[in-house]
Structure formats: structure tokens, C-alpha cells
Copies of this chain bind each other. A is one copy, B any other.
Amino acid sequence: MTLSEEDYIKIIYHLGKGEQGTVSTNAIAEKMETKPSSVSDMIKKLSEKGLVNYKKYQGVTLSEYGLKVALSIVRKHRLWEVFLVEKLEFSWDEVHEVAEQLEHIKSEKLIDMLDKHLGFPQIDPHGDPIPSKSGEFKKSIKRLLNEVPIGKEGICIGVKDSSPPFLKFLDKNKIALGDSIFVVDKEEFDGSLHIKIRDIDIRISDQIASNLYLRIIE
């Protein structure tokens, strides 16, 4: 598989939300930062290779084989992200671009040993689950912070918006993965939240709360 083919497969996977969804040519073109006509050409090739199911004008889905390939790339991407944060002191808003390159390195042993070196992590620095070698990954029970009931507590496991400005905000406010967040109160008027994090009470807007994923403890 070429680097370009791998990028297409990964994008089709993400646009298909994991598995089923059929994906449009235009959507792929936008993500790939290329033209729809180029996408048509590539899809034809991927289809001939058995990586995608394709009928002209009817969108595209990953084949079983294509899904396997996609999960292997996602696995590599997320393991490298963990490596960069845990071992090389990168912060979570710096890792994606480098992982985009590292995910294409071809060596089964490399990724197995990297996994071991990192202690077989289950989630990446953005809270996304890391597929196992065989392509399974446990569905984490995510809930957006603004949907967490008052009086409940949860673990911060990820973000919906992973843009640098948002990640910077979290960093500045010392909100990080693994942190426990307790919802003290919710303001009806604007949906802003009063939360307790590391024994400190802070107030966050609905906009922030609706972009933070928690895993609810019970």
C-alpha cells in the first residue's frame, strides 16, 4: 500500500464514523485537500484492490479488508501519539502532525514493541481508544460534559474539538486527560457549568463543556 492509499483509507474510515456509513466523493476530497476528480480516480483503484465497496455515483464504504487496514493505521497513529507525549514530552496539541507521518512506517515488530514499551495503552492523548493488534477496541462510554447530570463525577477522557486554541485553553486551565471532574451546578440561563476539578471550583461556558468528553463513574 502506498502512503497516499493509506491516507485515503484512513479518511474513509473516519468519515464513515467507524464502520458502516457510506462516504461521499466530495467529503473525501475536502479532507484530503484535493479535487473530487482525483478522488474518483483513487476510489476506482482502491475498489480494484478490494479495499472499498464502490458503485458509481453511490458513494463508497470500506470493505472488511479495508476496515482492517484502516484500524491498523489508526492503531499506529495513536500509539505514536502516546509515545510522543509520554516519552518525548510533547504536549497533546503537538503530536498529530508528526503521528500523521509516523503512522506510515512499515514494520510489524516496530509497532508491537512500541506498544509494549508504552505499557499497552488503551487510549491516546486525546482520549481516543487504541485498537488492539487484532483490530478490536473497547467502546469507551463517552458523555459530553454538558450532558453530565448535576452531582455526577467523571473522568476526562477526550475532546470533541481538537483545535489548537481549544487544547491551549484546557492546558491553561490545567484540565488534562485523566482528571476527575465533578459537576457542582449548572446555570439554566446560559448552560454554563460550575465544576470541581482537583478540589478547585471553576466555572466553564457551555461551549467549553460541549466539547469535553467524560467517562462517567457510575
Of the residues B87, B98, B109, contact of A90 by C-beta under 8 Å:
B109
**How many protomers of this protein does the assembly include?**
2
Closest to A101 in B: B105
For the side of the interface on A, what is the size category?
10 to 19
List residues 97-153 of chain A with CB under 8 A from any CB of chain B: 97-98, 101-102, 105-107, 109-110, 113-114, 116-117
- The residues of B that contact A109 with a CB separation of less than 8 Å are 90, 94, 98
- Does A107 lie within 8 Å of B98, measured CB to CB? yes
Residue numbers in B under 8 Å from A106 (CB-CB): 101
- Cα(A117)–Cα(B105), bound, Å: 20
Q: How far is the CB of A90 from chain B (nearest CB, A)?
A: 7
A106 to B114, CA, bound (A): 20
Does A89 count as interface, using CB distance less than 8 angstroms?
Answer: yes
Closest B residue by C-beta to A106: B101
Is A88 positioned at the interface, with any CB of B under 8 Å from its CB? yes
**Chain B nearest Cβ from A87, distance in angstroms:** 6
